[in-house]
Amino acid sequence: MPDITLPGQSEKRAAPRLCLAIFFVVAAGAMAAYAPKAVEASYNADFERYYYAGSVALRGGDIYEATDDKQFKYFPVFAQLMMPVAYYGERHGCECHDSYRYELRVAAWLWYAILCASFLGSLWLVISLAKPICTKEALLLAVIAVAFSARFFVANARNGQINLPVMFLAVLGCWLATRKYEKLGGAAIALAACIKFMPVVLLLWFARRGWWRGIGAFLVTTLFLLLVAPAATWGFKGNVELLQRYVDSRHKMVTGVPEDEAPGQSAPSLANRLLRKVNAASLRRIDEEGNRAPIYINILDLPPQLVHAVAVALVLLLVVATWRALSKNGNDNLTVLLEIGVMFTLLLLISPEARKAHYVTTMIPAAGATLWLLRNGGGFYDRIWFVFAFLLLAFSSQGVLGEGDFYDYANACGIIALGGGIVFILLLHFLKKARTESIPADPVR
């Protein structure tokens, strides 16, 4: 039977789409207006490491040789992915100036465009997961998702960090899997994990759902990206040597208990600061002589091995709680978005070195919690806790808290991790209620 469009129905569908399109245009315009400040800051920050590694990879050089501001601490394939950006900078930069700094600045504009596209693309996929785009709720979901993550977008843009493209690839992988493209979803997550390894946590959701073909595609793609693709640049033997150096450096970071913290915003990092007397001062407190004014928030001073055991126990507790909350076959959009939100929050909370900028992914759990509250109404305390988490995440920046000790102590105490933890518990609560209550929801499509 052909679809029948009732009078006025097409107009009702078109209006929310138009509002959403306008919102994306406004967001893109705001990003464009912020571009000069972001680019000026980024090419003197993390982006320089990526660019330098891409430039070295163009010549088949040693990407791990630098030990200063150009130090590279990622898989070799990421350096390969940066080769087009480095080539663009060298080609267009040298037309005007034979200067490395000028080339870097030219490439930073391209990189900023990639970051913006990744952020907006992730937002679009999240909204698509939440509900068909033509619904009235889509605009509100977009606004709240951006409100949660805007300050973290700024942090990523100013440092030119890779978190936004990684987030896009990870969200894309989840989106593809829910559309029954499990293999492509696993491949997308593999690419994200070969840049930053924490997206591998999303395989927990794949396993719970029984998407074994997606996990198989992840493994095959990972092997290709780690062993085959880099061999085209460094040769098989050279790539193996680079991988060994990378694994050695990351193994020390994951298994060791740091004496100083920057400070991280995750459960293991916070446990280390609370249970040991370690300097939890931020890097901005470094003086001209390279010393950091100390901040201590510990309530105990336990042996490092015991603290590490506590951190591992916390991680296992969070993983088990997540596994029990996930469903095997819930295919409505509400359950799917809540579960993806839980996974991305878990990814942050169990990371060995989650930083503030990583919390740009809170747009995903924020959209899931918002969709629940819109569909179910939620209790009074549900809304209060949601607003409280928003305040902790969105208004804990240096611009709001000031540049004094209060800001440093708030970060040392894990104010952002606390906000993420509240969101995590809320989503687990919502998933439990979704199993026992009849909540109107649409199938994912």
With respect to residue 45, please indicate whether it lies within any of the assigned structural domains.
Answer: no
The one-letter amino acid at 381: Y
- Compute the average pLDDT of residues 176-205: 96
Averaged pLDDT, 404-419: 89
User: What local confidence, expressed as pLDDT, does residue 26 receive?
Assistant: 94
Residue 357 has pLDDT above 80, yes or no: yes
Whether pTM exceeds 0.95: no
- Using 50, 70 and 90 to split pLDDT, how confident is the model at 434? confident
In a domain, 1, yes or no: no
User: Does residue 385 lie in a domain region?
Assistant: yes
Domain of 340? 256-445
Distance CA 93, CA 218 (A): 37
Distance CA 20, CA 34 (A): 21
Residue 377's pLDDT is 75
Tens of pLDDT, residues 79-131: 999 999 999 888 876 555 456 677 888 899 999 999 999 999 999 999 998 87
pLDDT of residue 184: 98
pLDDT in tens, 231-247: 999 999 999 999 999 88
Residues whose CB is less than 8 angstroms from the CB of residue 308 and which lie 6 or more positions away in sequence, other chains included: 255, 257
Asked whether residue 386 is domain-assigned, the answer is: yes
Mean pLDDT across the chain, nearest whole number?
Answer: 87
What is the C-alpha to C-alpha distance for residues 13 and 351, in angstroms, rounded to an integer? 41
**What confidence tier does 262 reach under pLDDT thresholds 50, 70, 90?**
low
400: left (phi over 0), alpha (psi -120 to 50) or beta: alpha
pLDDT at residue 68 in the model: 72
Round to whole Å and give the CA distance between 83 and 86: 5
Block residue for tokens 């997206």: 199
pLDDT category, 256, cuts 50, 70, 90? low
pLDDT of residue 215: 98
Predicted pLDDT at 181: 96
pLDDT at 259: 57
CA distance 50 to 72: 7
Residue 25 included in any domain: no
Using the predicted structure, report yes or no on whether residue 331 has a pLDDT greater than 90: no
- pLDDT-based confidence at residue 6 (cuts at 50, 70, 90): very low
Question: Locate tokens 């747009």: which residue?
Answer: 363
For residue 323, is it within any domain? yes
And the tokens for 438? 């009849």
The stretch 136-154 carries a mean pLDDT of 92
Name the band, by pLDDT with cuts 50, 70 and 90, for residue 285.
Answer: low
Residue 290 tokens read as 């390279």
> How many other C-beta atoms can be found within 10 angstroms of the C-beta atom of residue 331?
13
Q: Is 1 exposed, middle or buried (0-12, 13-18, 19+ CB in 10 A)?
A: exposed
Question: Of 321, 317, 300, 295, whose CA–CA distance to 407 is shortest?
Answer: 295
Give domain status of residue 332, yes or no. yes
Q: 380: Cβ–Cβ under 8 A, 6 or more apart, which residues?
A: none
Of 428 and 330, the one with more pLDDT = 428
Would you say residue 346 lies in a domain?
A: yes
pLDDT bracket for residue 9 (50, 70, 90) = very low
Peptide bond into 294 cis (omega under 30): no
Q: Average pLDDT of 424-437?
A: 89
**Whole-number pLDDT of residue 263:** 67
Report DSSP state, residue 6. Answer: P
Q: How far apart are CA 228 and CA 222, in angstroms?
A: 10
Angle, CA of 412, 416 and 419, to the nearest 5°: 135
For the chain, how big is the Rg over CA atoms in Å? 22
Q: What is the dihedral of CA 175, 177, 179, 182, to 10 degrees?
A: 150
Q: What is the predicted pLDDT for the residue at 2?
A: 41
The arithmetic mean of pLDDT across residues 126-151, rounded, is 86
How sure is the predictor about 332, in pLDDT bands with cuts at 50, 70 and 90? confident
Count, in order, helices (H) and strands (E) of the chain. Answer: 19, 0
Closest by CA position to 44, among listed 91, 101, 114: 101
pLDDT band (50, 70, 90) for residue 12? low
